[in-house]
Structure formats: structure tokens, C-alpha cells
Amino acid sequence: MATGLLRRAFTGISSSSSPASRRVLLRAFASEPQTDASTPKAREASKLKTFSIYRWSPDSPSKPELKEYEIDLKDCGPMVLDALIKIKNEMDPSLTFRRSCREGICGSCAMNIDGCNGLACLTKIESGSATTITPLPHMYVIKDLVVDMTNFYNQYKSIEPWLKRKNPAEEPGKEILQTKKDRAKLDGMYECILCACCSTSCPSYWWNPEAYLGPAALLHANRWIVDSRDEYTKERLDAINDEYKLYRCHTILNCARACPKGLNPGKQIQHIKQLQPAGNSDSLSV
């Protein structure tokens, strides 16, 4: 019956009818997708956002500068890294920065965003005024947002971040087991991704970057000190029992505020100090 009514309705419109009349009738009996396709929509208003980004290249003798880029947030992902990729792909291919996983795991995209260290892939774009993006502070800049991590990695290497044993495993070729309780002691340390957000937010590290190991390296040192499977605890403690390597930490705790993984390096450093021979912390932490 419905088919017959539609046939008579369409037949009733003569070929001389206006196009507007035919569109009205067609729209009345069209499905929702067809209606949406035939109805013109007003274009959504753009949502512009300005990013002020640190620019410097060793190939140019000019001084570093903050260069502004304006993008439409309606045509961009929600994170700062999305904005950087959009700028590089569509506006300025010379913009240089590190990035890899986009999931807060690799630590490559660490930078200073509006005055706070963080990962660009985990930092949401704030609405409102311009966002300023600069390299990690107090680090040598290679180009734009890329800093030299050589000293940072050398300090991490110096604490020997691997399992060290004096005795072979009970079962050759098998894992060295530990209890669940001992394994739980590693929580809050093994998650570190070495992004350097903590170390480069620490004033003590700014003042003594060559001598003070920094929050990240010391957090990893404590990770191996408390590991029940490691047999070089005393040697590890002796290696970092130094006025500058360890005791330049004054518990400012910028490291805890800056860590994108929610870790507390300051707490781990305090634990190392407590394990040192009595009297050392009192005489050196001045």
C-alpha cells in the first residue's frame, strides 16, 4: 500500500514542476543518510590557537627565537604532539623535535610546555592564550626542541643499571626468582622511562650537571640497591656516597612534580641517604 501511495505521489508531479518542488517531495520520503547528504550544512567555525615555539639551528648564526604558528584545533588532535606534527607536516617542515611511541612510553618527546616539563604526547592542548614550547631547560640544544642527552645517559650508565651477581644462579640457565614482597619494592622505580623531565627540573642539577647524578640516575640506582636478586648493594652505595653525586639533593621535589609517570625520585634519593653509614648525610647535605 505504501509503495502504491509513493508511486501515485511521484506520478502526480509533472515534468513541468519546479526543481524545488521535486526536492521537497524526495526529501520527505528519503532515508536519514540521504537527507543529510542533500541538506547543505553550515561550516563549523574554526578554533584557532597560537603556538609559540623555540627555534634555533646550528646552521644559522642568528640568535634563538620564539616563532608563532596558528592552527585550527578543530582540524588537529588533542595533544601538544599532534599540534607539533601538524605544524611540521603542513606549515614548516624544518621544525625539529623528537617523538616515537605517542603513548608516554618512550620518553622521546620530553620538552618544556608553558613552563612545565612534560611529554608532548601526554600533554593536552589548553584552550585560551598561546602555548609556549621550549626545549628541556639547562640542556645544550642541538636544534629547535632537540637537546643533547649525552651527559644524562652517561650518568645513567655510571650507576651500572643491570643485575650484578657474585654467585651463580641456583639453577643454571634459569631465572633468579624473588618473592612477591621483594618484587613490590621495585614499584615506583622500574616505571621510569628516562625522559629527563625530572632531572632538568631540578635546580641542583642545573647548578652541578656534571657532578650531581640527578633524580633520574639516582632513582635507578636505588632500584638496583633494593633489588633482592642483586648482590652488589654495598658496592653500589659506596659508589654514589659522594658530596656531589648524591648529597646535592636538597629535597626540593621539583622532580616529583615534573615526572609524567607520577614517580617520586626525591623519595628514592632519601632512601639511599638512609642506607648510607650514619653521619654522612648530616655532614654532607648542607
Q: Which one-letter DSSP state was computed for residue 62?
A: S
Q: C-alpha 202: how far from its chain's center?
A: 18
C-alpha 265/C-alpha 254 separation (Å) is 9
Rounded Cα–Cα distance for residues 199 and 258 (Å): 9
pLDDT, tens digit, 9 for 90 and up, residues 39-68:
554 456 778 999 999 999 999 888 999 999
The lowest-confidence range among 48-57, 123-132, 241-250, 259-268 is 123-132
**Which residue in 211, 67, 41 sits closest to 145, CA to CA?**
67
Higher pLDDT, 25 or 34: 34
pLDDT value of residue 25: 47
Question: Is a pLDDT exceeding 70 seen at residue 14?
Answer: no
| E strand residue ranges, 110-150 | 110-113, 116-119, 131-134, 141-143, 146-147
Is the predicted pLDDT of residue 256 greater than 90, yes or no?
yes
Confidence of residue 262 (pLDDT cuts 50, 70, 90): very high
Q: Each residue of 226-251: pLDDT tens digit? A: 999 999 999 999 999 999 999 999 99
Please, what sign has the CA dihedral across residues 74, 105, 200, 92?
negative
Q: Which residue has the higher pLDDT, 60 or 98?
A: 98
The pTM score is: 0.80
Judged against a pLDDT cut of 60, whether residue 26 lies above it is answered with no
Q: Is 51 left (phi over 0), alpha (psi -120 to 50) or beta?
A: beta
Distance (Å, rounded) from C-alpha 9 to C-alpha 76?
47
Alpha-helical (H) ranges within 226-264 are 233-240, 254-258
